[in-house]
Structure 1
Amino acid sequence: MRHLTLGAIAEIIGAKLEGDADYSVSGLATLASALPHQVSFLANMKYAGQLNVCQAGAVILNADQAKLFVGHCLLLDNPYLGYAKLSQEFAPLADFIGIDKSATVHSTATLGSSVNLAAGAVIGPYARLGNAVSIGPNSVIGAHSRIGNGTNIAANVSVYHDVEVGDFCTIHSGAVIGADGFGFAKDGPDWVKIAQLGGVTIGDHVEVGAGTSIDRGALDNTIIGYGVKLDNQVQIAHNVELGDYTAIAGCTAIAGSTKLGKHCTIAGACGITGHLTLTDGVHVTAMSLVTHSISEPGAYSSGTGLDKNQKWRRNATRFKQLDQMAKRLKQLELEVAQLQN
């Protein structure tokens, strides 16, 4: 168990400390459950009432709320960011295990220093692993693929051939990187497969969620930019390009050859059709369907919100009548214009 003084924590998260710099804590907890040996945080004012009964050794909060808590305070303009930084200090560290005797490393593969290969890991021909790389149980790194320094690949991950993963990435269990894109040409009643000859390039500091798939490119590579964050069960099709710092929530699917700019956020269960371009700073809300390119930054939504079923059914019926209503309105406008003349 790691112990940190509040003085050290203030330095780590860039906060101003009001309290005893030598006071020691050993973990994080919510306002409602925190004990004196733990730190909590207030990022949402609807929980401010819990400060009156909070038993935390210290709370990360905005200076305007400091008067609400009688204990040690770590003052920060963005308490949630402070919590995020501090959470990394208390995260369990992976033990160095070296290379398990059941791991398989091809004779042509290259391993950096301090590499962890868990039981059943397979490193293919001419694959290259950087320093301090960790490969989890039963994960496979395909031929000619490269894994950057400090990258952590969890259990049961499949990295196909000709995939490049940057430094300090995290790939969670069940992810598949570099499977064939969905490409077929019609030949009468049959389908002819288009061989997917590209690869996948993933930048530094990328996180890929559990069960997420990133397909290889048909000719050029599929590209995932620096600092991109992908949630669980996200589908990235062939030749998609994701700009730096873009984040995509779970169960979203992006069709082939679509390009997203930098600093985009795509909420859960969205669909983005192929061959589109979304500019920097586009934010798409949950369960939206994007069918055209977006050239201006901002928030975009589609679909209808939840309502009582009977009312929703009436509105759904009216949606089907919109085209007919538009034609009738246009006709009425023409008739009014004629009367005015």
Structure 2
Amino acid sequence: MKSTRFQLDELAQLVQGESIGQSTLTLKGLASLGQAQSDQIAFVNGDKYLAEALASKAGALIVTEALKNQLSDQHHNFIVVKNPYLAFAILTHIFEAKVLKRGIESTAQIDPSAIISDTAYIGHYVVIGENCVVGEDSIIQSHVKIDDGVEIGRHCFIDSHVTITGYSKLADRVRIHANTVIGGEGFGFAPYQGKWNRIAQLGSVRIGNDVRIGSNCSVDRGALDDTILEDGVIIDNLVQIAHNVHIGANTAIAAKSGIAGSTTIGKNCILAGGVGVVGHITITDNVTITGMSMVSKSISEAGSYSSGTGQFETNHWKRTVVRLRQLADVPLTKLVKQIDHMQTQIESIESTLKSRK
């Protein structure tokens, strides 16, 4: 891979920061504080990393003004910014290895009716169906299948072995990683006389700008209405999005989560790893669901929500389960009566104590 090198002041300009020290210092990449060498740059994301930063061999550090003052005895080259983590995120794109190829590989199979931008790249063994569109500077890696009527916008990246079907529409700067299926048939069946009768899925999938979908995910097309992922949605690996789901802008969903059909999730939500969401409910904006939670009803107020029980030592967990089962066997009305009786006894004792004073 061709080495990419930048001077310190060039990198500072890219993140709108201030270069302190040897402005012409040449740096070849990013690294962690512990692994960085003299030709690499690292970032310090808070006071808790000060000791590690002081010991780092990095040629330069991305810091805040306050952190620079605490590190200047040991280090002399800095990029000073308000948010070091954001600056780091920006610079990862500068040093990232990019696909520079353009054109269509000889092994690709493209229907004559498809419209492919001259600046796109179509990799080996890609299959593109009728009336498809691939926009400017989009990268379609090897063995991708793009079915009839699919539209892909500009500056998209579609990794190897992805399937996009169901007349899906992707906007600009969408990234889809390996082995994911977009627009597959939703899980729709009508039960009748002991049999499941398949419902043909007639909807599609619409994906907004700047959406990122990880590897081995499924985003099913709608039964009638479309499945929708609004702008800025980010999805981790191994996530299932069922038919007719609507996910609001800038919502993040971590690995192994599953969203059942016809659910609406608002904007700026976070679903941590392993979250399950039942179908036909609504989650409002700015909701965080903690890991391994089960969302079984609609959420109408912003905030953080959890379900399940936390970790116990095994024997403690077993005892807890026994107690829960015993509690479940006691009728609620009986518990209420016992609590009322206890309250009456407490009030009687308090009254007696007051009368003796």
Q: TM-score, normalised by structure 1?
A: 0.96
Q: Identify the residue that residue 93 of structure 1 maps to in structure 2.
A: 98
Amino acid of the residue matched to residue 34 of structure 2? A
Q: Which of the residues 61, 64, 67 maps onto 2:66? A: 64
Report SS of the residue matched to 2:196: strand
Task: Say yes or no: does 1:34 pair with 2:40.
Answer: no
Displaced runs of 4 or more, over 4 A: 336-341
Q: Identify the residue that residue 336 of structure 2 maps to in structure 1.
A: 330
Amino acid of the residue matched to residue 45 of structure 2? A
Task: Say yes or no: does 1:189 pair with 2:189.
Answer: no
Q: Which of the residues 14, 21, 42 maps onto 2:16? A: 14
> In the aligned structure 1, how far is the partner of 2:133 from the partner of 2:343?
74
Q: CA deviation at 1:337?
A: 6.8
Q: Which of the residues 216, 235, 238 maps onto 2:221? A: 216
User: Which runs of 5 or more residues in structure 2 are unaligned?
Assistant: 349-357
Contact 1:218–1:238 under 8 Å retained in 2: yes
Larger deviation, residues 74-83 vs 195-204? 74-83
Q: CA deviation at 1:61?
A: 1.9
Encode CA deviations 1:269-317: one digit per residue, 9 max, x unaligned: 1101111111111011111111011111111111112221000111122
> In the aligned structure 1, how far is the partner of 2:136 from the partner of 2:158?
13
Q: CA deviation at 1:253?
A: 0.3
Report matched runs for 1:148-163 at 5 Å. 148-163=153-168
Report SS of the residue matched to 1:185: strand
Task: Say yes or no: does 1:245 pair with 2:247.
Answer: no
RMSD: 1.7
Q: Identify the residue that residue 225 of structure 1 maps to in structure 2.
A: 230
Equivalences, count: 341
Encode CA deviations 1:6-59: one digit per residue, 9 max, x unaligned: 212112112233222222211000101101111101125433211222111111
Amino acid of the residue matched to residue 24 of structure 2? D
> In the aligned structure 1, how far is the partner of 2:302 from the partner of 2:13?
35
Report matched runs for 1:69-80 at 5 Å. 69=71, 70-80=75-85
Amino acid of the residue matched to residue 53 of structure 1? A
Contact 1:52–1:68 under 8 Å retained in 2: no
Report matched runs for 1:284-295 at 5 Å. 284-295=289-300
Report matched runs for 1:242-281 at 5 Å. 242-281=247-286
Report SS of the residue matched to 2:29: coil
Amino acid of the residue matched to residue 39 of structure 2? H
Q: Which of the residues 310, 317, 322 maps onto 1:312? A: 317
Structure ID, larger Rg = 2
Q: TM-score, normalised by structure 2?
A: 0.91
User: Which runs of 5 or more residues in structure 1 are unaligned?
Assistant: none
> In the aligned structure 2, how far is the partner of 1:282 from the partner of 1:72?
41
Percent identity at matched positions? 36
Amino acid of the residue matched to residue 261 of structure 1? G
Q: Identify the residue that residue 107 of structure 2 maps to in structure 1.
A: 102
Larger deviation, residues 76-85 vs 315-324? 315-324
